[in-house]
Structure 1
C-alpha cells in the first residue's frame, strides 16, 4: 500500500513539474497577460491602468525631437530580430530539460520500487535461491563477490540485513545464522553458503574497522614530549642514515632524508603519526628499496649525460652543479603518498584491492604494504613524466592518482607490489 501512495505522490510531482514547464514558464516568457474572468474585469482595469501613449518632449525648446518619441509605442526602432525570441528559446529549452529529468526520475522510481523487486521475486521463484545465494554461487571469492554482497545488504528493506554491515567481528558468526534463518536456508544442505557469507562479511567489517584505525593514527599529532614518538623518529634516521650520526634533535641533517626544515615535527602536521608509521615501515621492511629511492632523489636527473657521482668527489659535485636532482624530497613525498593512500581507503576505492588480497579482515599491515607499493610506483611514474621542477608535483600526483583509480575500477584487480615488504602474494587475479 505504501508503494501505491508513494507512486501517486511522485506522479503528482511529475505532473506539476510538466504543467509548470509547459504552461506557467512558457506563458510568462511570451509576456502575455493572465486570463481574467468577466466579473473581475473592472477591478483588473482599475488595478492595471493602460500606459500613456505619448510623452512630453524632454528636449529644450528649439530642438527637434526624434521621430520615434511621439510614436504610439514610445520606443526606438527595433531590429528585424526581436531580442526576446532568444530568451524564449532558452526558456523553452530549459523547460524541456526539466521535463526530461522528471520523466527519467519517474522511470527510475518505477524500477527501484516495483520492477527491480518484482524481478528479484520472479528470479527467486524460478531458481529457488535468494539473492545472497545467487551471488555466492555465481562469483568466486574476492572483491567481485564481496562488493555485491555489501550492496545487497545495504539496499535491503530488512533491518537485520542492513545492520549486518556494522556488527562487531565477534558477532559475525551469529549474524550469519540469523540471516540463514531469515532467508529460510537450511545450513545442512547449503554448508558452503555460510562459509562464503562469513568470509565476505568479515572483509566488510574489517574494512570499516581499518578505516577507523587509520583515521585515529592520522588525527594523532606528533608529540616531541612523547618518548614513543621520538623513538620512532630516531629509528627512521638510523634506517636511512646508518653511517651518519645525528648531531642533534633539531638539525639541518633532517633535510638529507627529505624533510623540509630542521624539525620534522612540522612536516607531520597533515597526516599525524600515520605518515611516520608508514615511512618507518617502509624503511624497516623494505630497506633496500627505500635507500635506493632516497639515493635516486639526490642524483642528477639525466644520468646518461653526466659522470656518476662516484667518479668525482662530493666537493666537485656540489661545485659543478651538473644538473637538477630528480626533484622531490623523500620524506615529504612519503607523507604525500600517505595522504593519497588514505584518500583511496576512505573513499572506498581501495576495497577492490583489499578484498582481493585479504582472506578475511583487512589489517593495518596490508594498508602499509599498499603504501610501499604506491611509493615505488610513484617514483617510477615521476621519472617517466620527467617534470621540469618540483612545481609540477601536484600535477604529477593528480595524474598518478587517476591512474590508480582506473586500475581499481576492475573488480578483479589487486595491486601487485614488486618489493620485499609484502608477506602475501599479491597478484592480479
Structure 2
C-alpha cells in the first residue's frame, strides 16, 4: 500500500511539473505581459536571490538554448543573452535593464562553474618536491608563520611547529593536493596577524577543567588544541565540499558582482579557518580525538547559514574582518 501511494504521489508530482506548472507560467505571462526571466529580474534584488532563480529557470527550461546558457564560455555570455531575449521576444530597447541583469547573473553562473574546475585542478595536482614552484611555496609558508626561526633543513622536525604531522610536509598534502598549500599560504600572507594568532593559540596546552591531581593521574603530558597545518588542510576539504555541492553559491553570488574567482574561494577559506577556531574554543573538546565531531557540527552550522539566499560572508579582505552579515 505504501509503495502504491508513493508511486501515485510521484506521478502527480511529475504531472504538476510537466503540465500544470508550465500551464501556470503561460497564464501568468499572459496576465503580467512578462516571461519568467523578466519577473525574476524585476522582482528580486541583485545577488544570490536573483541569480539562483535565474539558474533554476534556465536549467528546467524546455528550450535547449536556455539550458545551454548555463555552460557557455564567458566570452559568449553577451551573445547568449541577446539570443535568449530574441527567443523570448523581449525588446531590448524597452527592457534595457533586463539585458544587464541577465548578463550579470549569467557571468556569476558560468564563473562558478569555472571556479569549481580551477579548484578541482589544484586539488588533483599532487605536491612534488622536485617541482621548484611547489618547494618555493612551502618555504614561503614557513617564513610567513615562523619569520624569526630559520628552517634547519628541508626534512626537519621543525615542521611540527606549524602543525604538520611529520618531518616532511609533502605527505600531509595528499588529500587536498596543492589546494591545501595554496590556501594555507594565502591565509599566512594576506591575513598574517590572524594566521599567527590562530597558530599561537593552537600550540597552547588546552586548559583542563580537571584538578591538578586528576590531571597527573591521567598521565597526560600535554593537551594541544590542534595542529594548525593539518586543520588548515581539513578546512580546505570542508570549503571544497561546500563549493562542489553548490552550497557556496549563496555566498559567492552575493559577494562577486560578476565572475567568482580563486581569490573569493581563498577568502572563504580564511573565514572558515577563523570561525572554526572560534567554534573549537566554544565547543571546548577534551582533546583532538573530538575533532571530527566538532568539524561535522561546524559544517552543519555553515550549511544552515548559507541556506538563507541573502546571507554572505562579509567580503572584507582580512579574515579578522570577516563575519556573517545579512545583506
With normalisation by structure 1, the TM-score equals 0.72
| Residue 184 (structure 1) aligned with residue 89 (structure 2) | yes
| Residue 347 (structure 1) aligned with residue 245 (structure 2) | yes
Contact 1:301–1:323 at 8 Å: present in 2 too? no
Q: How many angstroms apart in 2 are the aligned matches of 1:423 and 1:297?
A: 20
Give the corresponding residue for 1:144: 49
Q: How many angstroms apart in 2 are the aligned matches of 1:217 and 1:342?
A: 11
Q: How many angstroms apart in 2 are the aligned matches of 1:366 and 1:129?
A: 35
Aligned residue pairs, count: 320
Contact 1:373–1:418 at 8 Å: present in 2 too? no
Q: How many angstroms apart in 1 are the aligned matches of 2:192 and 2:150?
A: 18
| Residue 263 (structure 1) aligned with residue 168 (structure 2) | yes
Q: Could you say what secondary structure the match of 2:312 adopts?
A: coil
Q: Could you say what secondary structure the match of 1:246 adopts?
A: coil
| Residue 281 (structure 1) aligned with residue 174 (structure 2) | no
1:152-199 deviation per Cα after TM superposition (whole angstroms, max 9, x unaligned) = 000000000000000000000000000010000000000000000000
Structure 1 residue 299, shift from structure 2 partner: 1.2
Q: How many angstroms apart in 2 are the aligned matches of 1:261 and 1:109?
A: 55
Give the corresponding residue for 2:308: 410
Task: Kindly name which structure, 1 or 2, has the bigger radius of gyration based on alpha carbons.
Answer: 1
Contact 1:232–1:280 at 8 Å: present in 2 too? yes
Give the corresponding residue for 1:199: 104
The 10-residue stretch of structure 1 (190-199 or 112-121) with the greater mean CA deviation from structure 2: 112-121
Give the corresponding residue for 1:13: none
Match of 2:2 among 94, 97, 114: 97
Q: Relative contact order: is structure 1 or structure 2 higher (C-alpha 8 Å, sep ≥ 6)? A: 2
Structure 1 residue 326, shift from structure 2 partner: 4.2
Give the corresponding residue for 2:39: 134
Contact 1:415–1:428 at 8 Å: present in 2 too? no
Mapping 1:18-417, distance limit 5 Å: 96-302=1-207, 324-416=222-314
1:182-234 deviation per Cα after TM superposition (whole angstroms, max 9, x unaligned) = 00000000000000000000000000000000000000000000000000000
Contact 1:300–1:322 at 8 Å: present in 2 too? no
**Greater helix fraction, Structure 1 or Structure 2:** 2
1:130-170 deviation per Cα after TM superposition (whole angstroms, max 9, x unaligned) = 00000000000000100000000000000000000000000
Q: Is there any run of 5+ residues in structure 1 with no aligned partner, and where?
A: 1-95, 307-320
Query: Which of structure 1's runs of 4+ aligned residues deviate more than 4 A?
Result: 303-306, 421-427
Q: How many angstroms apart in 2 are the aligned matches of 1:278 and 1:113?
A: 44
1:46-81 deviation per Cα after TM superposition (whole angstroms, max 9, x unaligned) = xxxxxxxxxxxxxxxxxxxxxxxxxxxxxxxxxxxx
Q: Is there any run of 5+ residues in structure 2 with no aligned partner, and where?
A: 212-218
1:67-110 deviation per Cα after TM superposition (whole angstroms, max 9, x unaligned) = xxxxxxxxxxxxxxxxxxxxxxxxxxxxx101211220121122
Structure 1 residue 298, shift from structure 2 partner: 1.2
With normalisation by structure 2, the TM-score equals 0.94
The 10-residue stretch of structure 1 (419-428 or 228-237) with the greater mean CA deviation from structure 2: 419-428
Q: How many angstroms apart in 2 are the aligned matches of 1:417 and 1:298?
A: 29
Q: How many angstroms apart in 2 are the aligned matches of 1:424 and 1:400?
A: 16
Structure 1 residue 406, shift from structure 2 partner: 0.3
Structure 1 residue 273, shift from structure 2 partner: 0.4
Structure 1 residue 325, shift from structure 2 partner: 3.8
Q: How many angstroms apart in 1 are the aligned matches of 2:89 and 2:53?
A: 21
